[in-house]
Amino acid sequence: MLAADTLGAYGSTKRYKSLERIVRVNARTLVGAGGEVSDFQYIVRLLDELTTDDYRTDDGIELGPKEIFSYLTRVMYNRRGKMDPLWNSLVVGGVEADGTPFLGTVGMIGTHYEDSHVATGFGAHLARPLFRERQSDAMSEADAEALLRDALRVCYYRDKQSINKFQIAKVAADAPAAVGEPFALETSWDYKAFAAPTKWAIGAW
């Protein structure tokens, strides 16, 4: 399961508010991105050419998430080698042909790893601590979605540059990859800490 907000920012201007940052690559693979939008669009184009070529071959074999992940690591590293990196952090999620789930992330210079939970940008600071506490590979889909929503809420509360419009995309062994409709989260701004943010902060005034 992948989640992202739908913001395309121009510096601190919230320039595009309905930008889909998770794409379905094929029935078994999803790719999400943070960073430079134009570079992401270029990556989407590469992936489209890759999957069209895969379709053309018509051998009954479809690229899996692992292969697409590996491809992206090479693209990103190749560009950093040219001192002209694609300014993105990517998340690849999906299910292999044999049903094993896959989740990995690629940084803008080609650094990459796989894990049970990953996050890019602010999410790496704000959401991953929550994941570490509550995520388990055996958790149910509903629990996972609740956790993602909580993580998004924390990101939205703590990051003034973000917006309250998100998408969740899912892929499972028995359900082909699909990106969900955008939605807003319930938020509450009347916490005491929000009203007087410095009251309990030592050293602040």
Give the binding site for other proteins (CB under 8 A).
45, 49, 52-53, 55-58
Q: Is residue 30 a contact partner of residue 179, using CB atoms and an 8 Å limit?
A: yes
CB of residue 52 to other proteins, shortest distance in Å = 6
CB of residue 75 to other proteins, shortest distance in Å = 15
CB of residue 48 to other proteins, shortest distance in Å = 8
Q: Is residue 171 a contact partner of residue 28, using CB atoms and an 8 Å limit?
A: yes
Antiparallel, parallel or unpaired: β 88-95 and 2-5:
unpaired
Residue closer to other proteins (CB basis): 9 or 44: 44
Residue closer to other proteins (CB basis): 55 or 183: 55
Residue closer to other proteins (CB basis): 38 or 116: 38
CB of residue 46 to other proteins, shortest distance in Å = 10
CA atoms within 13 A on the CB side of 38: 2
Token pair for 89: 């952090």
Residue closer to other proteins (CB basis): 16 or 55: 55
Burial (CB < 10 A; 0-12, 13-18, 19+), residue 33, is buried
CB of residue 49 to other proteins, shortest distance in Å = 6
Residue closer to other proteins (CB basis): 54 or 150: 54
